[in-house]
Structure 1
Amino acid sequence: MADRALRGSGLGAKSFEDEAGIEFAARQEIGFDCVRGHQFSVTFAAEADLPTLWDCPRCGSQAKRSDGVEAEVKETKPARTHWDMLLERRSISELEELLAERLDLLRAGEVGPPHLARGRRSA
C-alpha cells in the first residue's frame, strides 16, 4: 500500500493531466470602469447575456462597462392604490349611492357601535 502513494503532493491538490486536446468554450472579455478609477475585466461565455454593471473587486462599488453600453430603462407602472382598484369595479355614481345607503343605516343605528346610534341611549 505504501509503495503506491504519491509523495510530495496533496490528494486532490493538483491535476497531473495536461491540457492537450482540450477545447475550451468560446469566451469574451468585457472591461469595466469603476467610479473610483479602477479598471478591470471579466471573462464571460460567448453566448452569455452581458451585464452592464459589475461590482469592483477592489472597492466593491458599481462599475460600468468600458464600451459604453448602458442598461435598458424599463417602463414602470404606477402603483395601483385602493381607490384605483375600487374605481375599476364601481362608478362614482354607484359609490355615492352606496355611501348614502350606509350613512342612513348608520344614522338609524342598524349598523355600527351602539354608542353612535341616534335616538337610542345605552344604559
Structure 2
Amino acid sequence: MAERTLRGARLGGQSFEDERGIEFAARQRVVYVCPQGHTFDIPMAAEADIPALWECPRCGAEALMKDGERPEPKAEKPVRTHWDMLLERRSESELEEILAERLEMLRGGEIGPAHLHRGSKSKSA
C-alpha cells in the first residue's frame, strides 16, 4: 500500500516545501577577469570573505577580481626528502656503520628472507 502513495511523485526531482515566508541570505555578485579577457561573475554571501583569485570556468586560468590586487605569493618551504630527515638524526659515518652491521647480519643469515641466504642448508637436505 505504501508504494502506491509515492507513485508519480517524482521523488528527488521536486520539492514539496513552500517558499513563502522564507528570507534568503543577502548576496553580492563578484566580477572576475582572467588573463585571456574572459569576464564572469560569482554570487557570494554578503558576509563572505571574497577571494582575490578564482579559476576561470572557460579556460581554467587564474582570474583576478575586477579592480582587485593580486595577493603576494606565499613563501614555500623547501622540500625535505627522506634523506634530509635521516641526516637530521644521524651523521653519515653513523649510517655507514649501521649499514655495514646490517649487511653482515643479512649475509650471516640472521635477518632477511631464508631464500636469500647463501649458505642455507635447507637446499642440500
- TM-score band w.r.t. shorter chain: 0.5 to 0.7
Query: How far is 1:81 from its partner?
Result: 2.0
Q: CA 1:84 to 1:41, structure 2 compared with 1: closer, same or farther past 3 Å?
A: closer
Query: How far is 1:112 from its partner?
Result: 1.5
Residue of structure 2 equivalent to 1:81:
81
The percent of aligned pairs where both chains have the same amino acid is 52
Query: How far is 1:119 from its partner?
Result: 2.9
Aligned residues: 101
Residue of structure 1 equivalent to 2:120:
120
Residue of structure 2 equivalent to 1:13:
20
Paired letter, 1:102: R
- DSSP 3-state at the match of 2:102: helix
Cα distance per residue 1:38-97 (max 9 Å; x no partner): 26587875x86442124568x585531222500220111233222222111111010000
Q: Work out whether residues 33 and 63 of structure 2, in 8 Å CA contact, stay in contact via their aligned partners in 1.
A: yes
Structure possessing the higher radius of gyration over alpha carbons: 1
Indicate whether 1:65 and 2:72 are aligned.
Answer: no
Query: How far is 1:103 from its partner?
Result: 1.0
TM-score normalised by L of structure 2 = 0.55
- DSSP 3-state at the match of 2:110: coil
Taking the aligned partners of 1:112 and 1:30, their CA distance within structure 2 comes to 63
- DSSP 3-state at the match of 2:98: helix
- DSSP 3-state at the match of 2:20: coil
Gaps of 5+ in 1: 1-10, 16-27
- DSSP 3-state at the match of 1:121: coil
TM-score normalised by L of structure 1 = 0.56
Gaps of 5+ in 2: 1-17, 23-27
Taking the aligned partners of 2:114 and 2:50, their CA distance within structure 1 comes to 66
Query: How well do the aligned residues superpose, as a CA RMSD in angstroms?
Result: 3.6
Q: CA 1:48 to 1:113, structure 2 compared with 1: closer, same or farther past 3 Å?
A: closer
